Amino acid sequence: MIKSVLIFLALILAAKAATPQQWKSRIIYQLLTDRFSRGNGDNSGCADLGNYCGGTFKGITQNLDYIQNMGFDAIWISPVPVNYQGAYHGYAAIDLYGVNPHFGTEQDLQDLVNACHSRGMYVMLDVVANHVGPVSPDFSVINPFNKSEYYHPYCQINNWNDQHEVEWCWLGTLPDLSQENQYVRSTLKSWINWIVNKYGFDGLRVDTAVEVPKDFWYEFQASAGVYAVGEAFNGDINYVSGYQGPLDAVLNYPLYFLLRNIFAYGGDMYQARDFMNSMKAFKDQTILGNFLDNHDNPRFLYQNGNINRFKNALAWSVVTLGIPIVYYGDEQGFNGGYDPNDREILWPYLKNTNSDMYQFVTKIVKYRKQMQLWNYPWVERYADHNFYCFSMGNAVMAFTNTDNTIQRSVTYNPYKEGDVICNIFWSGDCVTITNGALNVVLLNGEVKLYMPKSMMMEEK
């Protein structure tokens, strides 16, 4: 009886915990529903990554421990509507009100959301309001947009610097919805309100945000009633920041490109200083969606196989300003290249929780949570060509993009004389603040995340 009451209360609290401020402390694990777990005991491979491989809602539900044991308290799942044939990713809907039968039933989806809520985890749904599946010219098969008048006339997006073309033309063969049409506009708004409330989703990832007029997003966001982070696939801070306002937040593509440049390609680490100054263009950096890898780009380890560079970049994305999003498989060192090779199956690795990367991800995720980094401002502490150090509260993070030994005396730090500060990756690696300095030594390209020794006993 007591257990039932606790689960009920958890469901109530989770359903209400959906504002941007409540998402700030969350750490998101992004997965592709079709690639996480089949849920039927079949752990065989997948012959064609360009088609369905068999992952289901039940498979996710059965393996939430794998995610939560790393410290994640939110998941981002694929779009759930019925999709065009072979569209395992979910971005080619043909029936907004149905549930993709490859993933499971409505009840399976509801069970997944309920299971997450009972654990205190949020569920973020990926949604598409820009286009539907490639069915032209037979729109009659689309529910509810079954007439050609609901779409922009066919034209290809060729010039991504022409905003009118980006918003009015088609992405490949995907029919582009006309949000100027009042039926389309009102139906999309009522649909998002319906699906959020029917299943109790806590947040949204909004696909192709820049391909829809901003004025629509204000209304869509209001109808959703939960935190929404939009995809603005662009590295221009001034351009991307324009979509925070119409939507609560955007995926931090500028940070993605910075981290790739510095750590994968060996760019000058001084860039981070100018970058952080430019990021002031955003209304609120603390609720941006930070990521290093995702389903639309080759994985970091495909572009640079150096595991220490990867660890530096991944740690930065998790501990800096914003809401961290870790792409499934990063915790297993996946190195897939271009789509669909960056969308590997995970189920052969679900018992591999002692791997170096799984343990690394666990440490950086739990570090962020223990130090409550979201409550503190970001402060640069030291910068040069191959070394960068910043702090948030009394947490100090030191990074490098070289394999050479790095030794730096960080005199501008948040500690006092005599404090003992330790590296979370090895409890025996502690330094005493002497003459006001934190002496940092990085060997073989390692990253170090520091905390006061007095807090190390709290580390789980």
Distance CA 371, CA 368 (A): 5
Which one is catalytic: 176, 207, 211, 446? Answer: 207
Q: Are 27 and 365 in contact (CB under 8 A)?
A: yes
Nearest C-alpha neighbor of 235 from the set 179, 278, 185: 278
Specify the DSSP class assigned to residue 287: G
71 is in an annotated binding site: no
Exposed / middle / buried, residue 362 (Cβ in 10 Å: 0-12, 13-18, 19+): middle
On whether the CB atoms of residues 293 and 330 are closer than 8 A, the answer is: yes
**Residue 207 bears catalytic tag:** yes
Q: Are 26 and 19 in contact (CB under 8 A)?
A: no
The tokens for 38 are: 């089949």
Return the amino acid letter for 256: Y
Q: Determine whether the annotation assigns residue 117 to a binding site.
A: no
Q: How far apart are CA 352 and CA 17, in angstroms?
A: 32
Q: What does the block give as tokens for 19?
A: 């504002």
- DSSP assignment letter at 49: T
235 is in an annotated binding site: yes
Q: Which residue out of 231, 248, 342, 446 is catalytically annotated?
A: 231
DSSP 203-246: EEEETTGGGS-HHHHHHHHHHH-SEEEE------HHHHHTTBTT
Look up tokens 């330094």; give the residue.
Answer: 431
CB of 36 within 8 A of CB of 346?
yes
- Supply 410's token pair: 């960080």
Strand partners, 316: none
Active site residue 284: no
35 is in an annotated binding site: no
- Cβ atoms 414, 378 nearer than 8 A: no
Residue type, 167: E
b/e map 205-226, b = 16+ CB within 10 Å: bbbbbbbbebebbebbbebbeb
Q: What 3-state DSSP class applies to 146?
A: coil
For 328, other C-beta atoms within 10 Å of its C-beta total 24
Which pair of structure tokens corresponds to residue 190?
Answer: 């009522």
For residue 434, the cross-strand partners are 437
Q: Which amino acid is at 177?
A: L
Q: Which of 276, 252, 185 is nearest to 222 (CA)?
A: 185
Task: Tell me whether residue 408 is annotated as binding.
Answer: no
SS3 assignment, position 372: coil
Binding site: which residues? 131, 205, 235, 296, 343
Instruction: State the catalytic residues.
Output: 207, 231
Binding site for substrate: which residues? 131, 205, 235, 296, 343
